[in-house]
Amino acid sequence: MKLFDVYPLYDVTPVSANGIEVIDEKGQKYLDFYGGHAVISIGHSHPHYVARLKDQLEKIGFYSNSIQNPLQNELAQKLGELSGCDDYALFMCNSGAEANENALKMASFHTGKAKVIAFNNSFHGRTSAAVAATDNPAINAPINQQQEVTFLPFNDTEAFEKAIASDDFCAVILESIQGVGGLDEPTTEFFQFVASTCKSHGVVLIADEVQSGFGRSGKFFAFQHHGIQPDIITIAKGMGNGFPVGGVLIHNSFRASYGLLGTTFGGNHLACAATLSVLEVMEDENLIQNAAEVGNYLKERAKELPQVKNVKGRGLMLGLEFDFEVSELRKALIHNQHMFTGGAKNKKLLRILPALNVTKNHIDLLLEGLKKELK
């Protein structure tokens, strides 16, 4: 059997990794400024992560959601403490799309309505309601197009007010910092306007923190830069440092009932162990603070590159915007400098999404590599 050919691949075969280094089958080391698409949060194969997962696997790796699993409670408790969101309840699932799918579903159950407001350039995943709220017709199959989604621009209060006035929306979903779209984010004024308008219209505000959450922006959640409180928060990527896990934080004002949401794999013992170890390392090693500091350092040092026209994003969710398309530059960085970086829908944006324990020395190496390739 062949693989279903949907991914354009770089000619690199990683066989091991450690911290922010990835090593290929020829023994070549690469510096990972991409984090496997913002997934690696505490560094590849962090010793605490490896030990906790190994230990858990030797005890019990999986059982379904029909038994007591105290690890889920321990995780919910720790997540509430570290994120400052302890007035929410946690539902665990397996990916970012699934987190958003369940969030949209909860909004629809809660309000009895079906329409959704999303934003231009959004990406929320590839399942039914999540992909319908994603601004990319190429990945919306006819079966997904039955969902009614209104796309609006960020920061246009008039358009938002006009759209929501019809009172038939269940949810507004937005990425606190857009990932795939190219690191745009709403202004604080717009965030606050959206939050208060949702409240007055009884519409559920969903913050998609799948990429920007878990400390990447320099705060636990990126919406926390704007002083708002969403009704539902979705998480995934950095949560498991590579272990497939996602979650939905649902405000305590929502009512749960048996069977309302469900999943076979979500919240299994290994997923909990992976996520708990991520939270423990984030706390012990002050990784949120590091993300803020090293991110600011990179923003500052990027000014040394005259080819960089703009730096977007926050913390370690950054984009360097050039006035040319960056695909050749990314290839050159991999092949000549042995550095992984990311791209975006905005083809002129080079995305920098390293593990949150990346150091200023690593950033110096990135700058050197960029300078060589931009000559």
Ligand X SMILES: Cc1ncc(COP(=O)(O)O)c(C=O)c1O
- Interface with ligand X (CB under 6 A): 95-97, 100, 123-125, 175, 179-180, 208, 210-211, 236
Closest CB to ligand X among 47 and 262? 262
Give whole-number Cα distances, 48 to 42, 275, 279, 281, in Å.
Answer: 10, 11, 11, 7
Give whole-number Cα distances, 46 to 15, 18, 40, 280, in Å.
Answer: 16, 7, 10, 12
Closest CB to ligand X among 175 and 373? 175
The 10 Å Cβ neighbour count of residue 58 is 8
Closest CB to ligand X among 268 and 337? 268
Give least dist CB 18 to ligand X, A.
Answer: 24
Give least dist CB 266 to ligand X, A.
Answer: 13
Give least dist CB 252 to ligand X, A.
Answer: 24
Strands 21-24 and 14-18: antiparallel
Closest CB to ligand X among 39 and 164? 39
> Which token pair is 358?
């990346």
Give CA–CA dist 339/117, Å, rounded.
38
Give least dist CB 314 to ligand X, A.
Answer: 14
What burial letters (b/e) apply to 262-280, b meaning 16+ CB within 10 Å? ebebbbbbbbbbbbbbbbb
Residues 6+ away with beta carbon under 8 Å from 311: 298, 299, 302, 318, 319, 320, 321
Residues 6+ away with beta carbon under 8 Å from 356: 41, 42, 215, 216, 238, 282, 287, 288, 290, 291, 316
Closest CB to ligand X among 106 and 370? 106
Closest CB to ligand X among 133 and 370? 133
Give least dist CB 184 to ligand X, A.
Answer: 12
| CA 194 to chain centroid | 21
Give CA–CA dist 235/90, Å, rounded.
10
User: Please, are residues 325 and 347 in contact by the beta-carbon 8 Å criterion?
Assistant: yes
Closest CB to ligand X among 91 and 370? 91
> Which token pair is 117?
């407001």
Give least dist CB 240 to ligand X, A.
Answer: 10
Give least dist CB 95 to ligand X, A.
Answer: 4
Measured from each CB, the residue nearest to ligand X is: 96
Closest CB to ligand X among 49 and 123? 123
Give least dist CB 297 to ligand X, A.
Answer: 24
N residues, the chain: 375
Closest CB to ligand X among 230 and 369? 230
Give least dist CB 237 to ligand X, A.
Answer: 7
Nearest to 184 by CA among 155, 160, 145: 155
Query: 102 in helix, strand or coil?
Result: helix
